[in-house]
Amino acid sequence: MAATDDAEFASVDDLDEETEAAVQDLLFRLADDELVLAERYTEWQVRAPTLESDISLANIAQDELGHARLWYEVLTDFGYDETDLIWERDADDFQHSTLVEQPFEEGNWSDAIVRGYLYDVAEDAKLQALETSTFAPIRDRVGKVLGEEDYHLEFAENWLKRLAANDESRERIQAAVDRLYPYALTLFEPTNEDVEQTIVDEGLRGEDLVELRDTWHDRVSSFLESIGIEVPGLDLPDQYDVHSSPNDLPDKTGRDGDHTEHWAPLLDEMTEAYDELERDYATHIMDDE
Amino acid sequence: MIWEVFRQNQAGDYHTHCGNVHAPDREMALLFAEVQHGRRKPTNSLWVVPQDEIGEVDAEETKFGGTTDKSYRFARTYNVEPAAEEVEASEKELNQAERKRGDA
């Protein structure tokens, strides 16, 4: 592993129990978000509006799967293997945000584009905050992931600009934003406040979730408003301690393993072949890099 | 709208035609070409060109190189052994041109 000199935690062995739990929590949220979003994206295969868009979205899904793999690989340092992390994991052990598990409205391309946009802006902010992580195995991987994110954002923004130029499709974007915005807020929910406090105190992530959410909200609303889309304001409660959850958060955030009814069937579908073949190991068609 | 795509392997190489993409404008054409034509092959640069903007003249409309013997266009009178590779290449081209014209 390169560039570990100024890291407080060069590897798993340097972590105390509390910090180890926080690192794992951070990694599970990162990896699970990427995995489930990619799985949903693949539903657009052969259904996107043009061949070119189809290939582009499939390419983005592959990128996200690759990012998930990078984060899951760090988790294998904690003793997990791929079967524990994906194939034999219970649905309520997954910690992804409920944004990424929502089914697409059938044939609604705006839904896919808006979701990708809300997600990628959040991922971009999150990754930038991880560039200074005190945990070297995370920090060292950020560059690789960020290198692919530019395309995702460019793809989403270019589509949004063009869709917004037409009344009918602008209304569809607005409807998708209205529907998905509360779910997008769950991207900035902690698993619990103590874990989030450890993540910030130990410098595992350079910014806390509230700062990330503000960054995300500013960028998303200024862009969307520039193309004629209204974005709800952040409706925050008056009283809060460590992390303030917005009032319009959906019932299920996903972060604590509590998911919407759409997740269990998606996981079943994803692991169907593994279960049917009665596998107890993960198949690798390529050696890890 | 169809955009023809030209891919350059590495800096200094020619951009060579590699296919096309459907896209409403240049910006989207570049975005699509990046994935469709730059994803799996070594790529240093891509050009996209509106298909309508490409001019063409083909072998049905003209006789490329003319119809008479123009062997002076080729390097064939150097008596150096072994021949430089440029000379060999030029002779090969000449032979091809003669065959094509039906002279050889």
**B24-78 per-position pLDDT tens digit:** 999 999 999 999 999 888 999 999 999 999 999 999 999 888 888 887 887 776 7
Q: How far apart are CA A250 and CA A175, in angstroms?
A: 17
Chain A CA closest to residue B24: A162
pLDDT for residue A6: 54
Which residues 37-56 of B are in CB contact (within 8 Å) with A?
A: 39
Chain B CA closest to residue A151: B31
Chain B CA closest to residue A163: B24
Question: Which sign, positive or negative, has the C-alpha torsion A68, A73, A74, A75?
Answer: positive
ipTM above 0.90, yes or no: no
A75–chain B nearest CA distance, Å: 29
pLDDT for residue A99: 97
Say whether the peptide bond before residue B82 is cis (omega within 30 degrees of 0). Answer: yes
Instruction: Give the orientation angle of helix A136-163 with respect to helix A51-76, to 10 degrees.
Output: 160
B35–chain A nearest CA distance, Å: 6
What are A15-52's pLDDT values in tens digits? 999 999 999 999 999 999 999 999 999 999 999 999 99
Q: Are A99 and A180 in contact (CB under 8 A)?
A: yes
Q: Are A37 and A64 in contact (CB under 8 A)?
A: yes
B22–chain A nearest CA distance, Å: 7
pLDDT for residue B85: 85
Nearest CB neighbour to A158, from listed B28, B35, B39: B28
On chain B, the residues whose CB falls within 8 A of the CB of A162 are 24, 28
Nearest CB neighbour to A52, from listed B22, B27, B39: B22
Q: How far apart are CA A282 and CA A269, in angstroms?
A: 16
Chain A CA closest to residue B27: A158
Single-letter amino acid, residue A127: L
Q: What is the CATH number of the domain that holds A55?
A: 1.20.1260.10
Q: Which residues contact A122 (CB under 8 A, 6 or more apart)?
A: A184, A187, A188, A212, A216
pLDDT for residue A201: 95
Mark yes or no for CB contact A52/B34 under 8 Å: no
| pLDDT at position B17 over 90 | yes
CATH number of B2-53: 3.10.20.520
Assess if residue A207 is contained within a domain: yes
Assess if residue A239 is contained within a domain: no
Assess if residue A287 is contained within a domain: no
On chain B, the residues whose CB falls within 8 A of the CB of A165 are none
On chain A, the residues whose CB falls within 8 A of the CB of B23 are 52
Mark yes or no for CB contact B39/A51 under 8 Å: no
pLDDT for residue A203: 96
pLDDT for residue A289: 54
pLDDT for residue A12: 93
Q: Which residues contact B82 (CB under 8 A, 6 or more apart)?
A: none
Nearest CB neighbour to A155, from listed B21, B23, B31: B31
Q: Does any CB of chain B come closer than 8 Å to the CB of residue A55?
A: yes
From the list A245, A248, A243, A255, the residue with the least C-alpha distance to A231 is: A248
Q: Does any CB of chain A come closer than 8 Å to the CB of residue B21?
A: yes
On chain B, the residues whose CB falls within 8 A of the CB of A49 are none
| Residue ranges in chain A modelled with pLDDT below 70 | 1-7, 239-242, 287-289
Among A41, A51, A52, the strongest candidate for a mutation testing the B interface, having the largest count of B CBs within 10 A, is: A52
On chain B, the residues whose CB falls within 8 A of the CB of A63 are none
pLDDT for residue A4: 45
**A-B Cβ pairs (cutoff 8 Å, strict):** 28
If pLDDT is split at 50, 70 and 90, which confidence band does B94 have?
confident
Among B26, B28, B40, the strongest candidate for a mutation testing the A interface, having the largest count of A CBs within 10 A, is: B28
Q: Which residues contact A276 (CB under 8 A, 6 or more apart)?
A: none
**Residue B47 φ/ψ, nearest 5 degrees:** -115, 145
Mark yes or no for CB contact B32/A59 under 8 Å: no
A50–chain B nearest CA distance, Å: 8
Beta strands at B45-50 and B2-8: parallel, antiparallel or unpaired: antiparallel
Domains of chain A: total:
1
Assess if residue A237 is contained within a domain: no
Assess if residue A289 is contained within a domain: no
